[in-house]
Amino acid sequence: MILKKYKFNYYFNVNINKPLILFLHGFMGNINEFDEAIKLLAEDFSYLTLDLPGHGKTQVLGGDEYYKIEPTAQAIINLLDELKIDKCYLIGYSMGGRLALYLTLYLPERFIKVILESASPGLTTEADRLERVRRDTQIARKLSRSIIQTDFATFLSNWYSQPIFGYIKNHPEFERLLENRLQNHLTELTKSLQFMGTGNQPSLWEKLKDNTTPLLLVAGENDEKFRDINTEMANICKIAQLKVISNTAHNIHFENAVEFVQNIREFFQKQ
């Protein structure tokens, strides 16, 4: 059983009278990624959070191939089976959003509705994928050279200077975000980047056209790249809705948890 190749660190808060949301964090995140949103949702929803392979305290017990999106997706389904979760809501952010989209398209019967935050269906051409693999390999080398915490902190500061993150470094809780990221292990993060990076995932653009699961795409106003990607996704997938959140960039649930949760409620609770 593929689940035996993983030792997931997860937190399962269940109330049979409350629908359940599975949360999937982004690259360098962990089980606590959505804590603020979960606090605001706790009155009406149960939840399952976990550390994805390469992150937090989850252990990959198999080879490097088990960091890839396909076996990870199957392992998550097996975990749902083990926890006796037949069907649930699903939210994925960035890397976790790509994984969530893969789950949605290949195992739609397991999810009621899905929210993708700052996610994409991957890259369309082999040339683009190879170029992304090359870039991710360079980033992985920088990560692997960050032997001490101060080096990792510098890496993180540079990472969050990328245009897609907008003005996140000005957020009053940015230091707390960095502390959360510093809990990860550099070797494990490197493997996640190499094997579950955008360049190594199968393109989901063609399959997106046939999606039948209600889908909400959430993008930040100041994240031009993913705003454009999600606009194209919404044009391709007629069942998908697009919501652009003002005054936010890539990490919407961190920058504006209140509006993020408002959209969750409206989408999941609407009949």
pLDDT tens digit sequence for 27-66: 999 999 999 999 999 999 999 999 999 999 999 999 999 9
State pTM to two decimals: 0.95
CA dihedral (122, 123, 124, 125) positive or negative: negative
Residue of 158, 32, 10, 165 whose CA lies nearest to 94 = 165
Report the percentage of the chain scoring pLDDT > 90: 80
Q: Residue 259 pLDDT more than 80? A: yes
Sketch out the chain's domains with CATH numbers: 2-269 (3.40.50.1820)
Q: How far is CA 127 from the centre of its chain?
A: 24
Q: Residue 140 pLDDT more than 70? A: yes
Which DSSP string do the residues of 199-242 spell out, in sequence order? GGSPP-HHHHTT--S-EEEEEETT-HHHHHHHHHHHHH-TTEEE
- Band (pLDDT 50/70/90 cuts) for residue 2 is confident
> If you count them, how many residues does the chain have?
271
- Band (pLDDT 50/70/90 cuts) for residue 119 is very high
Q: How far apart are CA 179 and CA 176, in angstroms?
A: 5
What is the tens place of the pLDDT at every residue in 152-196? 888 898 999 999 999 999 999 999 999 999 989 988 999 999 999
Instruction: Kindly calculate the radius of gyration of the chain based on its CA atoms and give it in whole angstroms.
Output: 17
Tell me which of 229 and 124 has the higher pLDDT: 229
